[in-house]
Amino acid sequence: MIELPPLPYAPDALAPHISAETLGFHHGKHHKTYVDTANRLIQGTDYEKLPLEEIIRKSAGKPDDKKIFNNAAQIWNHTFYWHSMAPRGGGKPDGKLAEKINQDFGSLEKFIEAFSAAGTGQFGSGWVWLTLAKGKLKILATANADNPLTHGEVALLVSDVWEHAYYLDYQNRRADYLATFLDKLVNWKFAEENLVRAGDAAKAA
Ligand code: FE
């Protein structure tokens, strides 16, 4: 049984950048529906007892399990997205992450430019991620429910570029939503924790 994780802040905590109405629908309807649907689909199958990440890895690329993959991955992606934002987020990364961004993208400005371009350029529904791939930071745009787990990359940060993430607040202006995400909402601390954890895991392996 997969549980719907609570939002890590109040539904109005990201206003005015993302309204309580958007977050209420996005978490309470969209995210919850993925959880309910996944639970219904895995009932009585080999997937039923597996942790969420295992369900995603195991169902990826299997045509018969496409619906299970889509719903399970969307659960994981949304939980990761809530944590990729914070009330009074934005500003600049520091520590190891800031160093690594400068190293791999040239500067924070160049990273922001590339992340925005990948997010606005993702045709249709999807996600734009900052990942760690073979020890290097990378921007990955994925379609629909796809995510870094199926690419062998480690997710550090994500923005949801499905229309339901921004339409009530920004209508069709995805670029404005992404600019606000990077300027006012992004949770650099979460991204840095993920980077440090990935480094520790690599050392232990
Ligand atoms: Fe979404």
Tens digits of per-residue pLDDT, 52-110? Answer: 999 999 999 999 999 999 999 999 999 999 999 999 999 999 999 999 999 999 999 99
pTM equals 0.97
Quick check: 116 and 179 in contact, CB under 8 A? Answer: yes
Query: What distance in angstroms lies between residue 24's CA and the mean position of ligand 1's atoms?
Result: 12
Residue 6 in tokens: 């609570």
Query: What distance in angstroms lies between residue 34's CA and the mean position of ligand 1's atoms?
Result: 10
Which tens digit of pLDDT belongs to each residue from 146-179? 999 999 999 999 999 999 999 999 999 999 999 9
Query: What distance in angstroms lies between residue 66's CA and the mean position of ligand 1's atoms?
Result: 18
Quick check: 99 and 116 in contact, CB under 8 A? Answer: no
Query: What distance in angstroms lies between residue 162's CA and the mean position of ligand 1's atoms?
Result: 6
Residue 40 in tokens: 């219904």
Which tens digit of pLDDT belongs to each residue from 2-23? 999 999 999 999 999 999 999 9
Q: For 57, how many CA atoms within 13 A lie in the half-sphere containing its CB?
A: 8
Query: What distance in angstroms lies between residue 43's CA and the mean position of ligand 1's atoms?
Result: 24
Omega of the bond leading into 16 within 30 degrees of 0 (cis): yes
Q: How confident is the model at residue 205 (pLDDT cuts 50, 70, 90)?
A: confident
Residue 38 in tokens: 């996944």
| Amino acid letter, residue 170 | Y
Query: What distance in angstroms lies between residue 120's CA and the mean position of ligand 1's atoms?
Result: 15
Q: 20-83 architecture in CATH?
A: Orthogonal Bundle (1.10)
Domain boundaries, the chain: 20-83, 95-204
Quick check: 128 and 119 in contact, CB under 8 A? Answer: yes
Secondary structure tally for the chain: helices H, strands E: 9, 3
DSSP classification of residue 46: T
Query: What distance in angstroms lies between residue 190's CA and the mean position of ligand 1's atoms?
Result: 19
Query: What distance in angstroms lies between residue 165's CA and the mean position of ligand 1's atoms?
Result: 5
Distance of CA 106 to the CA centre of its chain: 23
Fold of 95-204: minor pseudopilin epsh fold (3.55.40)
